[in-house]
Structure 1
Amino acid sequence: MEKIMIPPLDSNAAEVIKNNWAKMDKPLHSLGKLEEMVEKYAAMTGTALPDKIKSAMLLMCGDHGIAKYGVSAYPQEVTMQMINGYMRETAGSNVMARHAGADVFVIDAGTAFDLSAMPKVHQEKVAWGTEDFTQGPAMTVEQAEKALKVGMKVADECIDKGYNLLVTAEMGIGNTTSTAAIVSAFLGLPPELTVGRGTGINDERMAIKRKVVADGLAKNQPRLGDAMDILCKVGGYDHAGLAGMILAGARRRIPTMVDGVNATAAALLAYGLEPACADYMLCSHLSAEISHAKMLEVLRLTPIVDAGMRLGEGTGASLAIVILQMAINTYKELYKRGGMHA
């Protein structure tokens, strides 16, 4: 991977917004996080606030070799079923993205299925799913780099088309198991503190899931905090694609709205590869998964919404886009209408 050069935030742009908020006819800081969101967005982009956020939701799809152990409440075939739903625009992710005004781009970064007959799917398959990480690394270094570049490529294409907000989304049965392994390896935490219920698994499957993570960590011995090593040994192609997307956005001063626990694991990997990219992240919501808050502490991100959600697929991010657009609209309208005091 080439060195990613990420520009510093535009502190002057943020200061202008902050000073204008302080002059508006309302109690000081009374809009709380809404004010901070607008300031942060301005600092990231370094340009005038847009009238309309143009959001590109990159829905990275990848299958996981450890799914065969029954770590999810659903079989691996559901990955394919969900992608069919995305194509029909009937999935919850589509519905919420539509309400948020986000365009959804489905990318096959590494599913175990042949999606070549689906012309609307971006065909970027690195491999037919990851390897079983209880037996060895999930992917090679070359595959990890290729998957990162998939995310960077699609993100750059969207930015070239005028999108001013990237949005994370993912699909792949077994991905919360991979996420738990990533968090354990990155933060040095035992599986008991990182493995969550995911798709709503029962206690029996929970025990299996924890064992799979423990076995994977013991077999591969990923280096603490080493993002590339962790990605190769226990990560997924969905994680890698999203990490590449975040890096590409930061390089071009385009913010990323990060969704739930799986997307945040990808954000953690991107941060490990280039820490400055965290300056260009917005955290959409607090997932009900137990490892999410731990990752947000490392990334120094504050969730916009806490609604007890754990669906993934960009749904929490869609909710936050609506709030961000409202915050920008409120600022611009108050400013335009002269809702200011001396």
Structure 2
Amino acid sequence: MVISSPLDIFRRQLADLPKIDVTAASKAAARDAVLTKPAGALGRLEEIAVWMSGWQGRHPPTIDRPQIAIFAGNHGVCDQGVSAFPQEVTAQMVANFNAGGAAINQLAKVFEATFSVTALDLDHPTEDFTRGPAMSEADCAAMVQTGWEKVGDDADILVVGEMGIGNTTVAAALAAALFGGNGADWAGPGTGVSQQGVEKKAAVIDAGLARHADILDDPVKILQHLGGREIAAMSGAILAARHKRIPVLLDGFVVCAAAAILYKANPSALDHCLAAHVSAEPGHRNLLQNLQKDALLSLGMRLGEGSGAALALGVVKGAIATHTGMASFADAGVSGEAPPPDH
């Protein structure tokens, strides 16, 4: 491929994706079939174990080295008054992450995950997308590459998260651009704006969609024109995980907007991802439906910073523990085949 744009490498990486290891997945499915339980009795835990094995490319699957990678960015569209908090809060929260004081830090400790936070030029917000592209092609490509490089080669599952005042407005704009609808269909309260604030967000989103109407058939251009640095970095990290055969747990609305860029560019691009939870941000449930993902958890969370996905690490750990630790019928000396569920 001739590289004529900094984003062409991103496009090439999206076009050439590793597929699930069918042999490893089949081995996991075969083991599940002989464990001491009725078939299907562990519900989605059984599916998760097979999914993990297939995407890690080995059986049994492991979850010994979970990674949590957080990305933080600021947004020029905040000049339109779309957030309840000033942009200084982004840097303040990054400091809190680094000091170990945020919710995500506690969840990382509980599930023994490595943790990092990457601040992306917080002193220079992206451009206001109602006035022009949020990022240049070079800046967008650099952010994708930054996200790619933050994914550890030895991780066995990845959680990405975000911090960025105003980024639910950006996520809603991306969702509308990718899947249709207007600002009112996707805007929500975010960090807690009033109904009047939600209406303001919707109007700003509509202005952005109108401003960039000529590129709305190109998901990569949508990311560049309407996205943010932390969102581009998360897109890069999720894509890197695919190429490195690392399963991914998707967090809330903003993370799923980053993932949606990949999905619209290549509908198989999120096969290595599970939706960890459905958040209280109204657009998230709609976004998951468009991504054809069923959430593992529904706890009314709307914090961001990877918190819902980190919590779902416990579900995955449970899935792998039962898959690898349970006895088979033969091992346990239990006669007969597995009975059907609910017997």
* TM-score, normalised by the number of residues in structure 2: 0.89
Query: Do the aligned partners of residues 264 and 74 (structure 1) sit closer, same or farther apart at CA in structure 2, a change above 3 Å counting?
Result: same
User: 141, 160, 169: which one pairs with 1:145?
Assistant: 141
In structure 2, the partner of 1:88 is 99
Secondary structure at 2:58 match in 1: coil
Q: 1:132 aligns with which of 95, 108, 128?
A: 128
Percent identity between matched residues is 34
Question: Per-residue deviation at 1:109?
Answer: 2.5
Provide the residue aligned with 2:36 in structure 1: 25
- RMSD (Å) for aligned C-alpha atoms: 1.7
> Residue 56 of structure 1 contacts residue 166 of structure 1 at CA under 8 Å; is this kept in 2?
yes
Q: What amino acid is aligned across from residue 303 of structure 2 in structure 1?
A: L
Partner of residue 221, structure 1:
213
Paired residue secondary structure (2:159): strand
- Once the two structures are TM-superposed, the CA of residue 336 in structure 1 deviates from its matched residue by 7.4
* Contact 2:251–2:277, Cα closer than 8 Å, also in 1: yes
Write the deviation string for residues 129-163 of structure 1: whole angstroms up to 9, x where unpaired. Answer: 210111111111121111111111112xx11xx21
Contact 2:111/2:313 (<8 A) preserved? yes
Q: Structure 2 residue aligned with 1:304, among 275, 289, 296?
A: 296
Contact 1:93-1:314 within 8 A present in 2 as well: yes
Give the match for residue 236 of structure 2.
Answer: 244
**One of 84, 101, 108 as aligned partner of 2:119:** 108
TM-fit CA distance, 1:10: 1.5
Matched, 1:195 2:187: yes
Query: Which AA in structure 2 matches 1:17?
Result: A
1:74 aligns with 2:73: no
C-alpha displacement of 1:246: 0.8
Q: What is the deviation of 1:326?
A: 1.2
Asked if 1:276 is matched to 2:295, the reply is no
1:263 is matched with 255
Structure 1 SS opposite 2:33: helix
Match of 2:21 in 1: 10
| Alignment-mate amino acid for residue 239 of structure 1 | I
Q: Deviations over 1:280-314 (max 9, x none)?
A: 11211011222222222232222111111111101
SS at match of 1:291: helix
Whether the aligned pair in 2 keeps the contact of 1:110 and 1:238 (CA below 8 Å) is: no
Structure 2 CA distance, aligned partners of 1:186 and 1:331? 38
SS of the equivalent of 1:137 reads: coil
Which residue of the partner structure matches residue 37 of structure 1?
48
Q: Which amino acid aligns with 1:286?
A: V
**Structure 2 gap segments, 5+ residues each:** 1-7, 338-343
- Partners of 1:207 and 1:216 lie apart in 2 by 14
Q: Matched residue pairs, number?
A: 323
Q: Which has the larger Rg?
A: 2
- Equivalent position amino acid for 2:21 in 1: D
Query: Aligned residue for 2:340?
Result: none
8 Å CA contact 2:49, 2:61 repeated in 1: no
User: Following TM superposition, by how much is the alpha carbon of 1:167 offset from its aligned partner in structure 2, in angstroms?
Assistant: 0.9
Contact 1:197 1:206 in 2 (8 A): yes
Contact 1:58 1:104 in 2 (8 A): yes
Deviations 1:263-282 (A, max 9, x none): 00000112234433211112
Task: Give the partner amino acid of 2:149.
Answer: K
Match of 2:150 in 1: 154
Shift of 1:8: 1.2
Alignment of 1:313 with 2:305, yes or no, is: yes
Q: 1:336 to 1:150 in 2, by over 3 A?
A: farther
> Match of 1:53?
64
Q: Which residue of structure 2 aligns with residue 115 of structure 1?
A: none
Aligned amino acid, residue 185 of structure 1: A
Determine if contact 1:151/1:245 at 8 Å carries over to the other structure: yes
Write the distance in 1 (CA, Å) between the matches of 2:221 and 2:190: 24
Distance 1:228 1:249 in 2: 18
**Alignment-derived partner of residue 174 in structure 1:** 166
Q: Distance in 1 between matches of 2:39 and 2:83?
A: 47
Greater shift, 270-279 or 3-12, is seen at: 270-279
Alignment partner, residue 98 of structure 1 = 109
Whether contact under 8 Å (2:34, 2:328) holds in the other structure is: no
Three-state SS of the structure 2 residue aligned to 1:75 is: coil
- Equivalent-residue separation in structure 1 for 2:52 and 2:181 (angstroms): 33
Partner of 2:245: 253
CA contact (8 A) 1:18 1:39 kept: yes
Given that residues 63 and 174 in structure 1 are in contact (C-alpha distance below 8 angstroms), is that contact kept between their aligned partners in structure 2?
yes
Q: Aligned to 2:120, what secondary structure does the other structure show?
A: strand
In the TM superposition, structure 1's runs of 4+ consecutive aligned residues that sit over 4 Å from their partners are 339-342
Q: Between 46-55 and 276-285, report the one with greater CA deviation.
A: 46-55
Q: Which runs of 5+ in 1 are unaligned?
A: 113-127
Structure 2 counterpart of 1:116: none
